[in-house]
Amino acid sequence: MHAITVREPGGPEVLEWTEVPDLSPGPGEVLVDVAASAVNRADLLQRQGLYPPPPGASDVIGLECSGTVLALGEGVTGLSVGDEVCALLAGGGYAEQVVVPAAQVLPVPAGVDLVTAASLPEVACTVWSNVVMDGRLKAGETFLVHGGAGGIGTHAIQVAKALGATVAATAGSDERLARCAELGADITVNYRTQDFVAEVGKADVVLDNMGASYLPRNIDVLAPDGRLMIIGMQGGVKGELPIGKLLAKRASVMATGLRGRTVEGKGAIVAQVREHLWPLVESGAVKPIVGRVVPMPNAAEAHRLLDEGDVFGKVVLKRER
């Protein structure tokens, strides 16, 4: 089979479409014939040698995919050869085939085509686990997401709105903010020209992809009993935590990641997504937002698009037949 490999750590040009060994599923695993994958920020870091896969995971980049079940490993139930699925991966998505634990496999939601479905697993599991399972967002609360125009942001806006929250989103241009508003954002903030603390006031849950550079203001914007969920470090890795403000607000700060969790941990999130979020997708309340579709062998182009930051929503890699 063929997959995207990394010649050496570096820029997008180090990504190559090459022949690699075929795969077979082990006990509890599923072999998927990949239709598409999607590009995430973590993929760019892995390409640069800054985010190695967990022990035992594929060296091939790619944290999600969609496709058709080719084979089942021993002990797998509830799936059949030929099923159209999408899956949360620890790696291996940029390839013609991938092996994935059965607990991390989801059916393609009704009304979503197979290629578009590749854009869902990573954002769905990230948003649901952080905003709902750990962030405990409730109807009537205020939710703030940074990077509202990205894959996580476009999904989070819709989920929070469907749950009955007031939604605030930051983005870098008025055009991108207008599109966030179309998805359901009630408050939009241009982070280049506006202060989100002044514009939002107080937020019960904040979903943050920036890390250190936003930490003081994220604490300032938290409401009493507020929850700050940190999922990225685009603004740096070290910041000063104002403990006095946290104590006064009874606020909490939690940093989470999906990739390094156990199969059981990921499976628990996937099960919640299937039960509670997939109905919202199938009803149209939450729509997958795909900004660009690029042939999988041209993964370097897809990485450049994400690096440049001009895409609204996800960048999908479509396998060519």
Q: Sort strands 15-19 and 142-145 into parallel, antiparallel or unpaired.
A: unpaired
Place of tokens 């006064």: 248
Give the pLDDT confidence score for residue 321 in this predicted structure.
Answer: 81
Give the pLDDT confidence score for residue 273 in this predicted structure.
Answer: 98
For residue 209, the Cα-to-chain-centroid distance in whole angstroms is 11
Give the pLDDT confidence score for residue 118 in this predicted structure.
Answer: 98
Flag whether the pTM goes above 0.85: yes
Give the pLDDT confidence score for residue 310 in this predicted structure.
Answer: 87
| pLDDT beneath 70, residues of the chain | none
